């Protein structure tokens, strides 16, 4: 009769296994060392971090069995010997002093919390028999260790291990495991961070039960009981709220990030110190990327006097002149420009648009490298025009910038002066592309995105173009802001470019040193700009201070000087530069190939000298300082050469070129 009733109940009330399988986990984000960045409770308001049985300390498994259910491996959900023992103890005491719940029964009780009674115990026993028929002992034990209460809203051994000892459950020592295994009996009474002496006494009971079960020796028991435990601090170790939120967006369950807590805190300190000199409404953001690993090692979304929840590192903003290096690189790879090629800083008119420079002055013809260093607007616009707007946009996209599909129509040539918005994270990663010699990779934030760093990378620019930019924008050619008083040996090597948006709402400084790419943005979230928000003044000193940090400073030798670029189709001078005397052939900074040890050139200059008289008496030509009697055809050998011409009005022009 009893077996028939049991069989009927078994089939009439099947075990609700889905209620156990849907154990909610709490998102937890850590840095690369496992230090906590952010944790959130699960939707049932519990802090729970699930972990497999294989990733738990063996001591923890043995301690839990010894403390809660010594015959767990032998019974089938209900332990008759434990029932008999508890009944006898309770009868003698005249009250309930001992229970007979197995670990399996406790799992069933956690699934359906009921007031303790004989009826509830019978239901738990029935469910335990069902569960043992469905799950293995290992799976039941794993579920218990992930669901058991360890104090407050802390559920599971992984969350408890992280909270009390700042380590994973896999790394618990015997003493730590015994202390945690004793908590579920009375979590509030035995919490080590609140009641250490009571927790110590309970730990001793668990260790002695482990000896009785044959899991450890009496000597191990005494050693573990005497071990001094280091409880973890209760505060979050690393302050990186915006990076942690970005990690949760990529992985809602959380995980280990690529952030380096030490670098993150060092960057925070630099921005905090720099913020002392900024107006109250100003916000700072910074990004540091490990170039080789394509990994974000520091990200501050909002710091300084006006810090807020706004993540300025991920927000699209106008980069000002910080895009100019990529436009010059596009021209380098197109064969229309070299570092010494003459470009023109003259007033121009492009369809009622009359751009000027920050200083509202013009410098006339000058080498391309100098124009880029000085961040002159007109030469950059002419370079973008000569290289081709589509080519320039293609380079920017290939370097990782997420530009709109209609970028050509939206920005046009104003691209050269910040006509398109980009985020600090994207732009810093684009400079990481320069640091990799033109190879672009998406920036990683989660450690398990490691495969992306090893996947076939896309080449956006040639290594020669990147080396040329490194040389032009090197800290060896100009002293970084904030380092004016240092001697040359104390200035670290890095290349960088600043930017200032129209209206002075955004000040930028971004660069790399071959090891790290670093970007700094200083600005206002909304409202009018500020007079102080100029890239070279508001952002560059912070960038220089970051590159001087011991963890970020370049320790290897400075990169070698680049080889001259081959200029096949030099940019023509703009019509507005017609009054200037300019040598058109050979182009400045070009490299010619010698055949049989000689290269043949036909010197030409602009303006009135482009006719047949351009090599006649009206124009005098000098090769390496020597007057040429006939400059229609000139044969030169391998090496560096200078060609100069002077017209009757006294105007002069000169170019240097290389023959190899």
Catalytic residue among 50, 57, 68, 475: 68
Characterize 309-325 residue by residue with b for buried, 16 or more Cβ atoms within 10 angstroms of its Cβ, and e for exposed: ebbbbbbebbbbbbbbb
Following DSSP, what letter does each residue of 261-299 receive, concatenated? HHHHHHHHHHHHHHHTTS-TT-EEEEEEEETTTTEEEEE
Active site residue 321: yes
Q: Which two structure tokens, joined as six digits, stand for 66? A: 């010894």
Task: Give φ, ψ of 22 to 5 degrees.
Answer: -95, 50
Q: 96 — alpha (psi -120 to 50), left (phi > 0) or beta?
A: beta
Following DSSP, what letter does each residue of 128-195 receive, concatenated? HHHHHHHS-HHHHHHHHHHHSB-STTEESHHHHHHHHHSS-GGG--HHHHHHHHTSTTSHHHH-TTT-
Q: Which residues contact 322 (CB under 8 A, 6 or more apart)?
A: 418, 427, 497, 498, 499, 508, 509, 510, 535
Catalytic residue among 26, 50, 318, 321: 321
Nearest in space to 524 (alpha carbons), one of 242, 315, 358 = 315
Task: Judge whether 482 and 541 are in contact, CB under 8 Å.
Answer: yes
What CA–CA distances, in Å, run from 299 to 308, 402, 501? 15, 19, 22
Q: Can you give the length of the chain in residues?
A: 660
Angle ∠(4,7,12) on CA atoms, nearest 5: 125
Q: Which two structure tokens, joined as six digits, stand for 387? A: 């290289």
Q: Which residues are catalytic?
A: 68, 321
């Amino acid at each position: 009769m009893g077996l028939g009733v049991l069989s009927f109940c078994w089939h009439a009330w099947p075990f609700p296994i889905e209620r156990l399988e849907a154990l909610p986990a709490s998102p937890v984000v850590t840095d690369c060392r496992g230090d906590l960045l952010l944790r959130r409770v699960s939707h049932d308001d519990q802090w729970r971090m699930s972990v497999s049985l294989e990733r738990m300390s063996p001591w923890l498994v043995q301690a839990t069995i010894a403390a809660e259910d010594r015959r767990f491996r032998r019974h089938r959900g209900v332990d008759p010997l434990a029932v008999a023992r508890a009944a006898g103890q309770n009868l003698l005491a005249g009250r309930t002093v001992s229970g007979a719940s197995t670990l399996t029964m406790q799992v069933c009780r956690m699934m359906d919390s009921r007031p303790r009674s004989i009826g509830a115990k019978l239901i738990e026993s029935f469910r335990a028999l069902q569960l043992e028929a469905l799950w293995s002992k290992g799976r039941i034990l794993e579920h218990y260790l992930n669901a058991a209460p360890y104090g407050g809203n802390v559920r599971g051994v992984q969350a408890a291990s992280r909270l009390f000892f700042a380590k994973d459950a896999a790394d618990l020592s015997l003493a730590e495991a015994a202390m945690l295994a004793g908590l579920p009996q009375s979590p509030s009474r035995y919490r080590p961070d609140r009641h250490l002496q009571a927790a110590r006494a309970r730990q001793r009971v668990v260790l002695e039960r482990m000896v009785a079960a044959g899991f450890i020796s009496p000597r191990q028991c005494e050693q573990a009981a005497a071990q001094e435990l280091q409880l973890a601090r209760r505060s979050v170790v690393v302050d990186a709220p915006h990076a942690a939120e970005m990690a949760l967006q990529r992985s809602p369950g959380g995980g280990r990030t690529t952030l380096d807590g030490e670098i993150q805190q060092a960057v925070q300190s630099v921005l905090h110190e720099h913020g002392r000199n900024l107006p109250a409404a100003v916000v700072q953001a910074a990004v540091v990327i490990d170039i080789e690993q394509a990994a974000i090692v520091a990200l501050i979304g909002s710091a300084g006097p006006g810090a807020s929840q706004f993540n300025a590192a991920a927000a699209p903003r106008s980069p000002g002149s910080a895009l100019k290096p990529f436009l010059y690189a596009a021209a380098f790879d197109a064969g229309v420009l070299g570092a010494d090629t003459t470009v023109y800083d003259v007033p121009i008119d492009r369809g009622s648009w009359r751009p000027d420079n920050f200083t509202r002055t013009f410098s006339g013809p000058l080498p391309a490298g100098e124009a880029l260093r000085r961040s002159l607007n007109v030469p950059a616009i002419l370079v973008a025009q000569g290289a081709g707007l589509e080519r320039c946009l293609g380079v920017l996209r290939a370097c990782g910038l997420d530009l709109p599909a209609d970028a050509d129509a939206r920005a046009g040539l104003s691209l050269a002066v910040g006509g398109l918005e980009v985020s600090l994270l994207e732009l810093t990663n684009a400079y990481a592309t320069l640091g990799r010699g033109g190879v672009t990779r998406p920036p990683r934030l989660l450690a398990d995105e490691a495969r992306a760093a090893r996947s076939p990378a896309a080449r956006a620019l040639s290594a020669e173009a990147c080396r040329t930019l490194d040389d032009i924008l090197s800290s060896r050619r100009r002293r970084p802001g904030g380092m004016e008083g240092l001697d040359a040996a104390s200035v670290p090597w890095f290349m960088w470019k600043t930017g200032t948006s129209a209206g002075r709402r955004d000040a930028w400084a971004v660069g790399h040193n071959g090891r790290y790419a670093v970007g700094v943005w200083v600005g206002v979230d909304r409202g009018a700009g500020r007079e102080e928000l100029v890239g070279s003044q508001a952002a560059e000193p912070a960038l220089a201070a970051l590159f001087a940090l011991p963890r970020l400073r370049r320790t290897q030798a400075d990169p070698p000087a680049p080889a001259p670029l081959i200029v096949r189709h030099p940019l023509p001078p703009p019509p507005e530069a017609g009054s200037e005397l300019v040598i058109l052939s050979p182009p400045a900074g070009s490299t010619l190939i010698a055949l049989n040890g000689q290269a043949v050139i036909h010197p030409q200059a602009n303006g009135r000298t482009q006719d047949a008289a351009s090599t006649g008496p009206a124009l005098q030509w000098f090769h390496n300082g020597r007057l040429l009697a006939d400059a229609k055809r000139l044969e030169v050998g391998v090496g560096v050469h200078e060609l100069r011409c002077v017209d009757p009005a006294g105007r002069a022009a000169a170019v240097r070129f290389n023959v190899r």
